[in-house]
Amino acid sequence: MILSALILLAFIVTHYFAGGLIYNAFNFKKRKYLAYLIPVFLTCFFVFANILINYENHVVFNYLYIISAFLFGFLTQILIFGTIFYFLKYFFTKKNLLAKTFFLLAIIFFLLGVHNAFFPRVKNIEINNLNNYDNSIKIVHLSDLHLGLIYQPFYLENLVVKVNNLNADVVVISGDLFDGNDIKIRKFIPILKKFSSTVIFVPGNHDQFIDKNTLTNIVSEAGFFELKDEALNIEGIEFIGFNYLDDKDSNIRREINNIKINKENLRIVINHVPVDQAEARALKADLMLSGHAHRGQINPFSLIVRYIYGNFSYGLSNYKEMITYTSAGVGTWGPPVRTLFPGEIVVFDIN
């Protein structure tokens, strides 16, 4: 609660810094207040557009949301560089030149951030000598696709082609397949069907915004295996999907349907949020796959995510004798921007 309040306070204050950057970069002389109103307007526009699309899924509202999301993404960079400018301007005599430089940097980082948001990299990880597995398997891990108003079918089409070219045995989607801001999600089914590998889907928090039956029907039509507190044996591996409960440790022991009483094979737990490692290990899992944190998505939020989830905020880690991996995700939430770190398609070669 305290952390959320501090983040909100910092967010509000940085609007003042952003206004100062705009004022000094563009020499607002007579109407100085306009420079300070621009950041406030862009934030209000984004909030208002979110309210509109939740009120009614109208094509005009949808486009307003898309425009506001990109503008808000640009604003995040003005907030960051405006803050830097505020503290550095006292050491420079040519404040206007410094402001213009930082404004240009905000544009560059925004454009790079958009590129990172729409062109995820492929990351390869090799894991050897896992217990109870004598074969080889290639697993592609996707997380946080956030399909909806921003990530449309044409984006998904390119992603599916990219994944199919990796020739995986199994594709794991660890939650937030949909963003929840678009009710017309059946348009994604024909493309979801094009995955050439077996697909396992475990729901995340954004998938909760969609009617449960609708979501189940869509992933079923796509040919996915949806796991909600249940197990599935594929290629000699027991995959266990945790249904989404909360962003924090649940401190419970779930009843897992179809799980073998005596562990015979490699066990992989899939949980959208990088929590409940103790529960996964209690099930004798060898590997746990998660997402949700987006690696912070827009820096410096990576530091906040690190504070919340610790070593499990991103990448490989260990919990006792279990390997964990938290993906940076493929898509984005809110503004389609990823500064510094791109989205990722993770390929596990397990030998």
How many structural domains does the chain have? 2
For the chain, percent of residues with pLDDT exceeding 90: 80
Rounded distance between C-alpha atoms, residue 45 and residue 64, angstroms: 9
SS3 label, residue 316: strand
Whether residue 61 is found in the same domain as residue 195: no
Mean pLDDT of 61-81: 97
Decide if 85 contacts 94 (C-beta within 8 A). Answer: no
Residues 128 and 91 both lie in one domain: no
Q: Where are the beta strands (DSSP E) in 64-209?
A: 121-127, 137-142, 170-173, 198-201
Spatial separation of the C-alpha atoms in residues 110 and 4, rounded to whole Å: 25
Query: Both 145 and 58 in a single domain?
Result: no
CATH of the domain at 182: 3.60.21.10
Which residue, 52, 85, 117, sits at the end of a domain?
Answer: 117
Q: Which amino acid is at 157?
A: E
> 65: domain range?
2-117
Do residues 125 and 234 both lie within one domain?
yes
Domain end among 69, 94, 117: 117
Structure tokens at 312: 């499990």
Pair (82, 143) in one structural domain:
no
Q: Are residues 86 and 131 in the same domain?
A: no
Q: Identify the H or E element spanning 323.
A: strand 322-326
Q: 62, 92, 117 — which closes off a domain?
A: 117
Euclidean distance between CA atoms 303 and 306, whole angstroms = 5
How much is the pLDDT for 324? 97
Find the mean pLDDT for residues 135-150: 95
Digit-coded pLDDT (tens) for 198-242 = 999 999 999 999 999 999 999 999 999 999 999 999 988 999 999
Q: What confidence tier does 132 reach under pLDDT thresholds 50, 70, 90? A: low
Distance, C-alpha 189 to centroid of its chain: 21
Q: Quote the tokens at residue 216.
A: 């189940």
Is the domain of 47 the same as that of 129?
Answer: no
Q: Are residues 28 and 163 in the same domain?
A: no
Residue found by looking up tokens 């592609």 in the block? 140
pLDDT digits (tens, 9 = 90+) for 315-349: 999 999 899 999 999 999 999 999 989 999 999 99
Residue 168 is predicted with a pLDDT of 96
Verify that 16 and 72 share a domain, yes or no: yes
265 lies in the same domain as 169: yes
Averaged confidence pLDDT in the chain: 93
Q: Which residues 6+ apart lie within 8 Å of 72 measured at CB?
A: 42, 43, 45, 46, 334, 335
Half-sphere CA count of 158, side-chain side, radius 13 A:
12
Q: Cβ atoms within 10 A of the Cβ of 136, count?
A: 11
User: Are 277 and 153 members of one domain?
Assistant: yes
Name the pLDDT band for 163 (thresholds 50, 70, 90).
Answer: very high
**With 80 as the cut, is the pLDDT of residue 134 above it?**
no
